Amino acid sequence: MASAELKKLMNEAISRELKVSIQYMFQHIMIKGKRAKFIGTELRAIAIAEMLHAEKIAERLVYLGEVPTTTPAPVDITGTEQEIIKKDVAEEEFAIALYKKIIKQANDETDSTTRLLFEQILAEEELHHQTFQTLLGE
């Protein structure tokens, strides 16, 4: 079925999804400033979407015979509004690069189900990236 490398990358993706779902949710709670209510609403919605990504990836990993990780990458909820959003832009850029790597690996292994799953998630991550860039005014 799937190679050890593909499973490792998928567990890295889960760790990242868990991280940002926690990070964005707590940023939503802690953010301050004039735009806090609006930005907080966006952060909360994206946090929930990220948790759903973790769930989908975990389901696929279980199907492939792997135990999914439950350990998030280190979470960072500190900073000003601008600092928080810049961190979140970077998180989405990391995800986009990682998911393109997973898509290539899955394609090389002719695992079309995993490839399609990550293509769908990639499209959502690109939307999150765009949302954060818009919030930065870029």
Cβ–Cβ under 8 Å, residues 105 and 115: no
pLDDT score of 138 more than 70: no
What's the pLDDT band for 124 if we cut at 50, 70, 90?
very high
Q: CA-CA distance, 87 to 93, in Å (whole number)?
A: 10
pLDDT score of 121 more than 90: yes
What's the pLDDT band for 34 if we cut at 50, 70, 90?
confident
Which pLDDT score is estimated for 8?
A: 98
Q: CA-CA distance, 50 to 44, in Å (whole number)?
A: 10
Query: Looking at residues 111-115, what average pLDDT do you find?
Result: 98
pLDDT score of 86 more than 90: yes
Cβ–Cβ under 8 Å, residues 71 and 37: no
Which pLDDT score is estimated for 128?
A: 98
Which pLDDT score is estimated for 43?
A: 97
Q: What is the pTM of this model?
A: 0.95
Query: Looking at residues 83-87, what average pLDDT do you find?
Result: 94
For the chain, the distance separating the N- and C-terminal CA atoms, rounded to the nearest angstrom, is 42
Which class is domain 4-136? mainly alpha
Sequence ranges of the domains in the chain: 4-136
pLDDT score of 1 more than 90: no
Which pLDDT score is estimated for 33?
A: 84
Q: CA-CA distance, 138 to 122, in Å (whole number)?
A: 21
